[in-house]
Amino acid sequence: MKIFAAAFAFAMLCTFGSTAAQQPQAPPIHAKAARRLVIRNAIVIYGSGKPPYGPVDIVVQDGLIASISGSADGNSAAATSDTVIDATGKYVMPGIVNAHMHWHEERQAGMPQPVQYERNLYLAAGVTTVREVGGDFEKSKRWQAESNAHTIVAPRILVYPFVSKGRTGAPAEIRAWIREIHQKGADGLKIIGMDRDQLEAIMDESHKLGLRTATHIAVEETTAKDYIELGVNSIEHFYGVADAALAGIQAFPSDMNYSNEIHRFGRAGELYAQADPAKLHKVIDRMVEHHVAWDPTFSIYEASRDLVRAQNQPWFRDYLHPSMEEYFKGSTENHGSYFFGWTSTQEARWKQQYRIWMDAVREFATKGGLVTTGDDAGYIYSMYGFGISRELELHEEAGFQPLEVVEHATWNGARLLGMEDRLGKVREGFIADLLVVNGNPLENLKLLNPYGADVMLLNGRPASNYSPIARGDKAQNARGGGIEWTIKDGIPYHVPTLMREVKEMVARARAERPRSTAAGLR
């Protein structure tokens, strides 16, 4: 046990130790397909909530998990493998499913942002599968094919295009549009802003075609009640659920204007406090009964309850792309950039909103509901990848154990996508989407953050911060943790290398940035 602990202590620091920034070259196995890959000496977090076990050797063959065995067999397996990753002292868990995201090629208008920046950040945060719920359909389908063929460095992509009022209209037109997009290869549909007759048409047509559906309900004619009844697969965010538990509609002041995002997001923070608790329990019961999943995306609204935290995230310094930096600044043009004179009262109401909302999500899960993780990053001070790491922390804040949080992020994500026969668990025969984590994420979910996390050094060695400290002992903080390898379809991606590339992209973009915007760097 002592020997293991020492090895573990070393492994925790090797990624983000003081020399990480100077690491000049990618390891030779980075981003290279190997016919056989062996991960040696891993402690496994399975994915579906069972406790960790190991150490074991995981043999990956042609992109699938071929075998998982006790370490004694490992020598022979390693001898015949192209590639070996030593996971001594590390934890191996399934890749994360980001169930709610959007690709962007610019944030601030006129300032391009390379999509590779986002792909690297997502992989660095352990995301091996994304569900894009609205984007540029043609491009995303192309990227999906390229990701499947491994000609780009990117997570696996599922494409759920928007069914919007703008693009459609009458129920017959909506149906025709859905048939067409299904033909073109949509994996599912994202529904936003619908009246009841339109929604009936969408749901009926999707069911006929076997298309899955995700909804952002917003504040409108329909609420969760309609979506549950008509059989949607997942409800995103917080909207619609509390709306179905109000005595009538939300109490808005008479000057409310939904197009004004200060109004929209200010008043959204008052929603859950207005819900009738007894009705809310019933809405939750109905969601569970009808197998409607909930993808709360807690992290994307966090700035509303703690703006100073959101504006001062330490990774902004090296990793925030100037296009996004510019976009985040207060602007009536940019979606989600509604912070003009944000008040203590607005934050307090949002904090209350989170308490009730989180309790509702927790109640939903304990009653048997499927909870997943998504980050919706690129808005409201949330960065790609960092957003999903924060999402996991917020699921813990909602009252889930870290092992349950990992289940939300992996196995539940696979179930949401209908890929539970091949994804989301460290299981023989499943797709080899695996994360090799520096340390134990169940001890601290922050270890999954692409920036790494604070770890305590006691007399120069990493130790639990509950360790006894004797007089004369030296306690220090160091940056540790992080994912070392994100493996997708059996191909290992070296996270420090991905992050170094991100840092370089940002430095280049900042150097090329027009002089007029450079002054505002936080």
Residues in contact with Zn ion by CB under 5 A are: 376
Q: In what order do the strands lie in the sheet with 96-101?
A: 96-101, 127-133, 156-160
Q: Which is nearer to Zn ion, 98 or 389 (CB)?
A: 98
Which amino acid type is present at position 500?
R
- We find the least distance from the C-beta atom of residue 190 to Zn ion, in angstroms, to be 8
Show the 3-state SS of 171-230.
HHHHHHHHHHHHHCCCCEEEEECCCHHHHHHHHHHHHHHCCEEEEECCCCCCCHHHHHHH
Q: Which is nearer to Zn ion, 103 or 430 (CB)?
A: 103
- We find the least distance from the C-beta atom of residue 141 to Zn ion, in angstroms, to be 18
Task: Tell how far CA 112 is from the center of its chain.
Answer: 23
Minimal CA–CA distance to 491: which of 158, 151, 76, 67?
Answer: 151
Q: Which is nearer to Zn ion, 135 or 492 (CB)?
A: 135
- We find the least distance from the C-beta atom of residue 387 to Zn ion, in angstroms, to be 11
Q: Which is nearer to Zn ion, 68 or 417 (CB)?
A: 417
Reduce the DSSP state of residue 157 to 3 states and report it.
Answer: strand
Q: Which is nearer to Zn ion, 187 or 376 (CB)?
A: 376
- We find the least distance from the C-beta atom of residue 234 to Zn ion, in angstroms, to be 12
Question: How far is it, in rounded angstroms, from Cα 37 to Cα 377?
Answer: 32
344-366 vs 277-289: helix crossing angle, rounded to 10: 40
- We find the least distance from the C-beta atom of residue 100 to Zn ion, in angstroms, to be 6
- We find the least distance from the C-beta atom of residue 300 to Zn ion, in angstroms, to be 8
Neighbouring CB atoms inside 10 A of 492's CB total: 25
Q: Which is nearer to Zn ion, 376 or 407 (CB)?
A: 376
- Give residues with Cβ within 8 angstroms of 361, minimum separation 6: 294, 296, 371, 398
- We find the least distance from the C-beta atom of residue 125 to Zn ion, in angstroms, to be 17
Reduce the DSSP state of residue 59 to 3 states and report it.
Answer: strand
- We find the least distance from the C-beta atom of residue 297 to Zn ion, in angstroms, to be 7
- Alpha carbon distances (Å) from 263 to 255, 337, 353, 433, 480: 9, 12, 16, 42, 41
List the structure tokens of 515: 């002089």
- We find the least distance from the C-beta atom of residue 233 to Zn ion, in angstroms, to be 16
Phi, psi of 176 (to 5 degrees): -65, -40
Positive/negative CA dihedral, 219, 222, 228, 230: negative
Q: What is the number of the residue whose Cβ is closest to Zn ion?
A: 376
Q: Which is nearer to Zn ion, 135 or 482 (CB)?
A: 135
Q: Which is nearer to Zn ion, 134 or 492 (CB)?
A: 134
Q: Which is nearer to Zn ion, 261 or 376 (CB)?
A: 376
Q: Which is nearer to Zn ion, 226 or 376 (CB)?
A: 376
DSSP summary character for residue 477: E
Q: What separation, in Å, do the N-terminal and C-terminal C-alpha atoms of the chain show? A: 46
- We find the least distance from the C-beta atom of residue 379 to Zn ion, in angstroms, to be 8
Burial group, residue 24, by CB count within 10 angstroms (0-12, 13-18, 19+): exposed
